[in-house]
Amino acid sequence: MAVVVWVYSGGGEAEVRGLFPFLDKTFPGCKFERKTPVRDKPGPKPNKASSYGRTGKSLIDQIKQELPGALKAEPNKCDLILVFDDLDCRDSETQKLKILSEISKIPQCAAIEKFVGFAAPEIEAWIIADWNNSIAKHSDFRARHKRMCWWLSTEKKVSFENPESFSEYDSQRDCCLEKLSDALIESSVQDEVDRDKARFSKGLHTPLLLREIDPNEVQKKCPLFRELYNYLNNFCRYC
pLDDT in the model for residue 50: 41
Considering only CA atoms, which of 121, 127, 113 is closest in space to residue 232? 113
- β pairing state of 30-36 and 3-9: parallel
pLDDT in the model for residue 70: 95
104-151 per-position pLDDT tens digit: 999 889 999 999 999 999 999 999 999 999 999 999 999 999 999 999
CA distance 160 to 33: 32
Torsion over CA of 223, 224, 225 and 229, rounded to 10 degrees? 100
* 126, 19 contact by CB (below 8 A): no
Low-confidence ranges of the chain (pLDDT < 70): 15, 39-53, 192-194, 238-239
pLDDT in the model for residue 139: 96
Extents of the domains making up the chain:
3-122+221-238, 124-215
Considering only CA atoms, which of 163, 154, 156, 93 is closest in space to residue 134? 163
pLDDT in the model for residue 49: 41
Q: Does domain 3-122+221-238 have CATH number 3.40.190?
A: no
pLDDT in the model for residue 192: 65
